[in-house]
Amino acid sequence: MQLKNSRYVGQPLPRVEDFRLLTGNGTFVDDCHRPNMACAVIVRSPVAHGRLLAIDATAAQELHGVLAVLSANDLGLEIPRIPFRIAAFEEATPFQQPVIAKDRVRYVGEPVAVIIAESQAVAEDAAELIQIEIDELAPIASSRDSLRAQAPMHEDLGSNIAFQYTIDRGDAAGVFSRAPYKRKETFYVQRHTAVPMEMRGLVAEWNESKGHMSVWGAAKVPFFNRHVLAGMLGLPDKSVDLIELDVGGGFGVRGEFYPEDFLIPFAARHLQRPIKWSEDRREHLMATNHSREFECELEVACDAQGKVLGLRGQVIADLGAYVGTTGGILASRAAQFMPGPYDISALSIDVLSLATNKTPSGSYRGPGRFESSFARERLFDIAARDLGIDPISFRLRNLLRPDQLPYSTGNLVPYEQDASYDLGDHPTVLRRCASEIGWEQKAALRGREVDGRYHGIGFGSFIDSSGAGPKENCRIRLEPNGRISVFIGSSALGQGIETGFSQICADALEVPIESVSIHHGSTTLLDEGFGSFHSRSIIMGGNAIADAAEKLISLLKAEAASLFECNADNIQYRNGIFVTAAKDPIALADLARVLPKTAEADGTFGTKRKPYGYGTHAAHVAVDIRTGHVEVIEYVAVEDVGKMINPLLVHGQKIGAIVQGLGGVFLEQLSYDDNAQFLTGSLADYLLPTSTDYPNIRAISLDLTRTDRNPMGVKGVGEDAIAPVAAVIGNAIADALSSFGVQPTRLPLTPCAVWQLMEQSKESEAH
Amino acid sequence: MDMTGEQLIPAPREVVWNALNDITVLKDCIPGCTFLEKQEDGSLAAKSVLRIGPIKASFSGKVTFSNIIPMEGYSIVGEGQGGVAGFAKGGADVHLRDAEGGTMLVYTAKADIGGKLAQLGSRLIDSTSKKLAGEFFERFASEVVSKAAVPA
């Protein structure tokens, strides 16, 4: 249903979650304690590749307080493998991860044993006593090595290629053979990842008499993970519950099914004890999904006026040792979004996903979008410069016009249907961004040195889908005390869904927002639900709430009708009050008290029609060429987000995504040495942006066009603002250093990397 | 980690060579070494306590000698296991030549680290290695000088 009342929807209400969280009253998984609970520590492989010969746990088992040391042999003959949740490329199935290493280890951090002890301290001490005998094999430390390697990492398979395919649109070969201008560059995005503030953790408890497993610490997709876990434990779905507590950030990595999501419940049932496992930061950095590592050769063909005729190239994603729940998402999304928001008739991209002896990679906020935007937008600026066209004019010449939308992209992902971009006005958003950053006023500053620093302005445009996956379900109950309880499958990862859902429900039921409680994300709440990813919660969950509310109102009208002794059609429902001509009106809360039984209604929503958000970002940077340090003087994001449930939530997501993106541009890198040893095991080695690093970000969220792809007309807004960040900064640095011909093509742009680019430009000048 | 260097030892070549093959001298000079013993196969069993950044661990391992040319030099290859603290393996080529004021000891060393040591200590491994090498040569020089002073 479309919301008629908008007393709350559209208002910048402060988050209802915040009081609880900011006053220290949140309950995170580490706050969860069960009677007689034991602690688990995972023993992980210290080498990247080898034959696992023996695990000697004798000394560990003798330690007082150690309950068990479990390894592959304790799990039975068949070690479960973690299935795909999305982006399921059949041919990559042999690359799925076993929940524990049996004969081979394939990355530093792969689980080889689980120690369960009376306390965390004893379990950690016991881990130091485990002797692992590994016959080392040559490690594959990069995607280049992966292609060249003589012996495949997965010994039964012919190669390290998890999957490959080509996407085509139009006649790329023909276009490139005739084009008057072509330019090819190679781009690289470093391995980095989400790093939520709260690390992963689980508490599992087995109830032997009921044959029931409860797991606290669920996140993201609890219903899917429940199904996977139940299957691995040989239980029906209803005998397993995954319970969501407060979650300190997800960003894609937290809440996917990992080896521990099986190992801890398995151990709890095996030992008949509740068991807690809490990841520490070093463990998190090597055991939670990595992401982003991507190499791309991209070539653009243009006419002399800068009209892009074609785009072709190759995308290589470095997957790490196994293909996890998010399947082939990194490479496939990078290829799918390579053409971006532009009218490009000819396209040909070879897509390759390769295994290496590194931590498995998965989805992280804006998977493939961040990477592909960096390659495309950088290449476009390089081409524009070659052709003597400014970056704004170049983009305006190529952006899709409003009259071309919706725009069919054709089939750019093999396992999906054809996609189509949503309505929008890309040129208007670009022009607004140019005016906000002061493109004309600052023209004289571009490439100029002021007090030893060179100034530059860069732009990046993007488009992104939202709202993927199966339907979401919801139940709304009118409690006997008149309060409203909403039970929903969507899960909270810090994005503020309790607030957004409260606004939607309060408006849909025309009740005060204070009377609404949102219960989310646990399998105990509903028979079937799904969860949150791909900015889908407001789209799927929000529309499901509106659906349930509509059904609840008609159910209550029927109840009121029997009370009024009239026909339900003669009852009006307005502002929480049932009104009919002949009788006194009755308020919702009063009706609740006299109902024979508690009234509740189920709602659902699902769609395959994804809405698309889009926008243009710009940055003004100053580059110190002596140190390579880049200051972001100003960063402006202008996006057409359409209808906003809560502009404050939208704004928070935009700023957060941009800061997270800037971390990926300047600071964050998961490093490995040539032996595929992991080198960045602490936050002193892996640098994250902090609140003081990028103070000058403005996010302008416009309501220019609305989607018609769901009844409420909402798009996802949480994820996408990260997409253009690397492109924007790369372009701004290139603009600042244009007199030196510096063109950043590799991330991260650390001071050292920028300084080296300057040195290289001096060298090439000298030759 | 790769490291090269040279160190002037103010003693005749023979004295330096003998010291390089004297287990007691080596044990006293290797920073953190708590145990060093010759095995039947000619290799050395070693135990050493190492502190790199936030990690302090006891490593036990084996060192083997090869390319031994008396008075000229040798190659050593070693591997140490520190349990969950990780591991280190590496090797060094050591050459001696006469120099003004004594004997010049020239070395090239290469080491790989793994596990927790790599995850938390990689930023510090170069500086730590240089520091350890410095400590070794300082002690070695003073040992050799004191030995040279006492007629055998």
Give how many domains chain B has, as a whole number.
Answer: 1
Q: What is the rounded distance in angstroms from the CA atom of residue A265 to the CA atom of residue B60?
A: 36
| Residues A681 and B120: beta-carbon distance below 8 Å | yes
* The pair of three-digit structure tokens given for residue A331, joined into one six-digit string: 């490479």
> Please, are residues A215 and A29 in contact by the beta-carbon 8 Å criterion?
no
pLDDT of A5? 65
Question: Residue B37 sits in a domain of what CATH number?
Answer: 3.30.530.20
Check residue B129 and give its pLDDT: 86
Q: Which residue of A has its CA nearest to B121?
A: A679
Pair type for strands A346-355 and A212-218:
unpaired
Question: Given this model, what pLDDT does residue B125 score?
Answer: 84
Q: Please, which pLDDT band fits residue B151 given cuts at 50, 70 and 90?
A: low
pLDDT of residue A704: 97
- Predicted pLDDT of residue A720: 96
**Given B83, B114, B119, which is nearest A282 (Cβ)?**
B119
CA distance A509 to A477: 11
Q: In what order do the strands lie in the sheet with A577-579?
A: A572-574, A577-579, A586-587
Is the Cβ of B122 closer than 8 Å to some Cβ of chain A?
Answer: yes
CB contact under 8 A, A681 and B84: no
In the three-class reduction of DSSP (H, G, I as helix; E, B as strand; rest coil), residue A644 is classed as: coil
**The predicted structure's pLDDT at residue A395:** 98
- Closest A-chain CA to B120: A681
Cβ neighbourhood burial of A561 (10 Å; 0-12, 13-18, 19+): middle
Q: Does A682 sit within 8 Å of B122, measured CB to CB?
A: no
Residue A3 has pLDDT above 80, yes or no: no
The side-by-side arrangement of strands in the sheet containing A111-117 is: A66-71, A111-117, A38-44, A275-278, A201-207, A212-218, A240-244
Query: Least CB-CB distance to B119: which of A43, A129, A681?
Result: A681
Nearest to B115 among A46, A131, A682 (CB): A46
- Say whether residue B123 is in contact with chain A using an 8 A CB cutoff: yes
Output the six-digit token pair for A190: 């470093």
Tell me what the mean pLDDT of segment A331-348 comes to.
98
**Mean pLDDT of the region A10-33:** 96
Question: Could you give the CA distance from residue A552 to residue A555 in angstroms, rounded to a whole number?
Answer: 5
- Three-state DSSP state, A299: strand
Residue A1 confidence (pLDDT): 59
Q: Which domains does chain A have, with CATH numbers?
A: 32-137+194-287 (3.90.1170.50), 294-466+610-766 (3.30.365.10), 468-605 (3.30.365.10)
| Cβ atoms A53, A112 nearer than 8 A | no
Q: What is the pLDDT of residues A197-249, one digit of tens each?
A: 999 999 999 999 999 999 999 999 999 999 999 999 999 999 999 999 999 99
Flag whether pLDDT at B82 surpasses 90.
no
pLDDT at residue B152 above 50?
no
Q: Considering only CB atoms, which residues of chain A are within 8 Å of chain B?
A: 43, 46-47, 108, 127-131, 282, 285-286, 671, 673, 675, 677-682, 684-685
Chain B residue with minimum CA distance to A42: B84
pLDDT in tens, A35-60: 999 999 999 999 999 999 999 999 99
The structure tokens listed for B67 are 């390319």
Q: Helix, strand or coil for residue A757? A: helix
Check if the beta carbon of residue A344 is closer than 8 Å to that of residue A310. yes
Residue A669 near residue A748, CB atoms below 8 Å: yes
Mutation target to probe the A interface, by most A beta carbons within 10 A, among B2, B59, B84, B89 is B84
- Does the structure show a pLDDT above 80 at B149? no
Distance, CA of A538 to CA of A712 (rounded, Å): 9
Q: Supply the pLDDT for residue B58.
A: 86
Minimal C-alpha gap between A316 and chain B (Å): 26
Q: Report residue A536 as tokens.
A: 């889908």
* Cis omega (within 30 of 0) for bond into A724: no
Mean pLDDT to the nearest integer, B116-142? 88
For helices A329-336 and A369-387, the axis angle rounded to 10 degrees is 30
User: pLDDT tens, A419-472?
Assistant: 999 999 999 999 999 999 999 999 999 999 999 899 999 999 999 999 999 999
Give the structural domain span for B83.
2-149
Cis peptide before A46 (omega within 30 of 0): no
pLDDT, residue A731, reads: 98
If you search the block for the tokens 């006419």, which residue do you land on?
A303
The whole-angstrom distance between A102's CA and the closest CA on chain B is 19
Q: Is A94 exposed, middle or buried (0-12, 13-18, 19+ CB in 10 A)?
A: middle
Q: What is the DSSP string of A145-184?
A: HHHH-SS-SSTTSS-SEEEEEEEEES-HHHHHHH-SEEEE
For residues A257, A259, A261, A267, the Cα torsion angle rounded to the nearest 10 degrees is: 160
